[in-house]
Chains A and B, each alone.
Chain A
Amino acid sequence: AAGVIQSPRHLIKEKRETATLKCYPIPRHDTVYWYQQGPGQDPQFLISFYEKMQSDKGSIPDRFSAQQFSDYHSELNMSSLELGDSALYFCASSSGQGGETQYFGPGTRLLVL
């Protein structure tokens, strides 16, 4: 079965650079969630989209922005990168409007030097 696709899988950036992470949800899933998992930490919710509209917002820095496109893929844009942004970034997708199961992608590991 098709799964959530994230690209790139690994990314190395310098401080103050920008990064763009992409997420392709499972076909026919209309909701996308982004999570950040720091080293040794649990995943923390950043932001979510349903039908191309932002549906919920968590502890996402102002330096980050995200959107969902007409084909339901989503991009997380990160600017002015800081060392503390080094983490594993997960995208998850679900179908429907209520408490549906979220299926996670393999994650993008971002290292900021």
Chain B
Amino acid sequence: AQSVTQPDIHITVSEGASLELRCNYSYGATPYLFWYVQSPGQGLQLLLKYFSGDTLVQGIKGFEAEFKRSQSSFNLRKPSVHWSDAAEYFCAVGADTGFQKLVFGTGTRLLVSP
């Protein structure tokens, strides 16, 4: 069964500084990997996804993530954080077979300091 670990519960970053959120997954076959962002009381917005091909994927809002099979990781990065990026970030893994549920990590809450 799939599982996802997000080791950082909270991260505080200064506005304008770079950001990296960690995600490790466990899955026996080729994983489908996702990053979603959730603002307080809001739904889940897809930031980016990895299915295959180039291991560095670009997403919305200036985010990118790199898939590293050897490390079972899919870390999310942004070169310069804006105050509006403060939110909860969830990494999720899905299977490459049909109708598969997403398994989410426990999330990382990003705080942005002025």
Contact = CB atoms under 8 A, between A and B. Distances in A.
Which of B45, B90, B97, B100 has most chain A Cβ within 10 Å? B100
Contact of B101 (A33, A42, A50): A33
Interface residues of A, number: 26
Which of A42, A50, A58 has most chain B Cβ within 10 Å? A42
Given A42-B90, A45-B103, A50-B98, A99 B51 contact: yes
Interface in B65-114: 90, 94-107
A107 B34 CA distance: 19
A98 B49 CA distance: 14
Interface residues of B, number: 26
A102 B90 CA distance: 14
Contacts of A50: 98-99
Interface string A77-100: 000000000000010100001110
Nearest to B49: A101
Contacts of B94: 99, 102
Nearest to A4: B43
Contact of B42 (A48, A92, A101, A106): A106
Given A44-B104, A45-B102, A56-B100, 4 more contacts: A43-B104, A45-B103, A98-B96, A106-B43
The 7 tightest CB contacts between A and B, nearest first, are A55-B99, A45-B101, A42-B104, A104-B44, A106-B43, A97-B98, A99-B32
21 contacts: A33-B102, A42-B104, A43-B102, A45-B101, A45-B103, A48-B101, A50-B98, A56-B101, A58-B101, A97-B98, A98-B96, A99-B32, A99-B95, A99-B97, A101-B34, A101-B49, A103-B46, A104-B36, A104-B43, A104-B44, A109-B41
Interface of B: 32, 34, 36, 41-46, 49, 51, 90, 94-107
Interface of A: 31, 33, 35, 41-45, 48, 50, 55-56, 58, 90, 92, 97-99, 101-107, 109
